[in-house]
Amino acid sequence: MKKVKLGDVCKIQSGGTPSRGNLNYWNNGNIPWVKISDIKEKHLSRTEEFITQEGLANSSAKIFPKETILYTIFATLGEVSILEIEATTNQAIAGLQIIDENICKDYLYYYLISLKPFVNEIGRGVAQNNINMQILRNFEIPLPSLEEQKAIARKLDKVSGLIEKRKTQLEKLSELVKSRFIEMFESGNYPVCRLGDVCSKITDGTHKTPNYLDAGVTFISAKNIVNGELDFSDVKYISDQEYAEIQKRCQTEMGDILLSKSGSLGAPVIVKTTERIGLFESLAVIKYDRSKLLPAFLCEQLKSDRIQRQFKVGTKGVAIKHLHLGVIADTDIVVPPIEDQNAFATFVEQVDKSKFEIQKSLEKLEILKKSLMQKYFG
């Protein structure tokens, strides 16, 4: 198949950042200014920040037209989005304007997405995790006919759309549970106590980095809490001997609550396995009185805005934020009658059944998309 260099079919330029020290470059600005955190979806139509005309004139920032493909080249590599508005970008983002009428922008978008593992491998060999413009311009694109490109893009758009639909359905179900919790418990006159007063133990995982093995006892950290569940797709393994030492401090049991102490602070999850699990210090384990609290109720309460505000106030650290065990223990929680908690838990169980079916569908769609990307782009 014919291949072309990206630099031969696109005009490629990076953006710039007006001086933060000059308020005239930022205050009351109306020119959208894209940074990496704005690049979340295929199409980009809004930005968090704006610059002024004066800021544009006195920096290397430039206005990219609609349909420019944005590509991140510094720190977080390989994120891609298509502009639906005219916008400027910072210097960590390159703007790709197609200059060859035989290139379909949606096909090019998916091709660039497929390069992410390769690009990150290149970036790891550079001190500041970046790729330069020359490397970007030399990327070779497999180029079927324009009609084939459009057909490929349509297929991938369809699968991607279904994936987003499933994710939205999961988010709505989580919001439904949150709304039910508020309705049942936030306006009631229930007893309040310290979390630590209804727990036999609140501790965290090992503060020492273990020796990792290719197989052994599963070892997890805060990054393994994903969308309210424990994600075992990317775990470490440790020896029986190291696990034996760790469990003296924090042995997990079915129904315990794990809570992230760093990273995504204050994210709780219920342990739903009897398998042995070793914990790193970024996870706290909460062993609560099961005669007074049910796991579904406690987990949802820990997610609530009221509790999250308490966690935020108690967070320590400047560069890296940490949630200390004492703050967790001092958190005020409500303790309704167990029958009220049971009613809530039954509702959560029904919602979880729906979530499970949607999650299965989502995983199948993600596998399909991955196989299509492999088929089309290798």
CB 19 within 8 Å of CB 148: no
CB 315 within 8 Å of CB 265: yes
CATH architecture label of 3-143: Alpha-Beta Complex (3.90)
Q: Which long-range contacts (CB under 8 A, 24 or more apart) does 222-229 make?
A: 222/260, 222/261, 222/262, 222/263, 222/264, 222/267, 222/280, 222/282, 222/283, 223/263, 223/282, 225/258, 225/260, 225/264, 225/267, 225/269, 225/283, 227/170, 228/174, 228/267, 228/269, 228/303, 229/269
Establish whether domains 3-143 and 191-335 are of one fold: yes
Q: Going by C-beta distance under 8 Å and a sequence separation of 6 or more, which residues neighbour residue 212?
A: 219, 236, 237, 238
HSE-CB of 209 using CA atoms within 13 angstroms? 1
C-beta neighbour count of 263 within 10 angstroms: 16
Split at pLDDT 50, 70, 90, the class of 246 is very high
Kindly state the tokens that stand for 305. Answer: 């805005």
Q: Would you say residue 279 has pLDDT above 80? A: yes
State how far the Cα of 236 lies from the Cα of 209, in Å rounded to an integer: 11
Split at pLDDT 50, 70, 90, the class of 297 is very high
Q: Is 167 left (phi over 0), alpha (psi -120 to 50) or beta?
A: alpha
What tens digit of pLDDT does each residue of 115-145 get? 998 888 876 655 567 788 999 999 999 999 9
Predicted local distance difference test score (pLDDT) of residue 332: 94
State how far the Cα of 221 lies from the Cα of 206, in Å rounded to an integer: 10
Task: Provide the greatest CA pair distance for the chain.
Answer: 71
Kindly state the tokens that stand for 154. Answer: 């349509």
Q: Would you say residue 163 has pLDDT above 60? A: yes
What tens digit of pLDDT does each residue of 30-52 get? 999 999 999 999 999 999 999 99
For the chain, what are the domain ranges?
3-143, 191-335
**Residue whose entry in the numeric block shows the structure tokens 């914990």:** 279
- The letter for the amino acid at 175 is E
State how far the Cα of 332 lies from the Cα of 204, in Å rounded to an integer: 20
Mean pLDDT of 75-102: 95
C-beta neighbour count of 275 within 10 angstroms: 10
Kindly state the tokens that stand for 115. Answer: 């390069």
State how far the Cα of 289 lies from the Cα of 199, in Å rounded to an integer: 5
Q: Would you say residue 3 has pLDDT above 70? A: yes
Q: Would you say residue 342 has pLDDT above 60? A: yes
Split at pLDDT 50, 70, 90, the class of 263 is confident
Kindly state the tokens that stand for 5. Answer: 């260099």
Q: Tell which residue, 116, 140, 143, 114, has the closest CA to residue 373.
A: 114
Phi, psi angles (nearest 5°) of residue 98: -70, 130
Taking the complete model, does pTM exceed 0.75, yes or no? yes
Split at pLDDT 50, 70, 90, the class of 316 is low
Alpha helical stretches, state H, the chain: 6-9, 53-57, 105-114, 116-124, 133-137, 146-181, 240-250, 295-303, 305-314, 325-329, 338-377
Kindly state the tokens that stand for 48. Answer: 């968090």
Alpha helical stretches, state H, 34-86: 53-57
291 to 66, 268, 347, 350: CA distances (angstroms): 59, 20, 20, 23
Q: Would you say residue 227 has pLDDT above 90? A: no
Mean pLDDT of 154-160: 98
Report the mean per-residue pLDDT for the chain: 93
Residue 261 buriedness (CB in 10 A; 0-12 / 13-18 / 19+): buried
Mean pLDDT of 245-272: 93
In the three-class reduction of DSSP (H, G, I as helix; E, B as strand; rest coil), residue 221 is classed as: coil
Predicted local distance difference test score (pLDDT) of residue 125: 59
C-beta neighbour count of 197 within 10 angstroms: 12
**CATH superfamily membership of 191-335:** DNA methylase specificity domains (3.90.220.20)
Mean pLDDT of 194-202: 97
User: What does DSSP assign to residue 223?
Assistant: G
Going by their DSSP bridges, the two strands 257-260 and 283-288 should be labelled as antiparallel
Give all strands of the β-sheet with 69-72 in edge-to-edge order.
Answer: 10-14, 93-98, 69-72, 80-83, 43-44
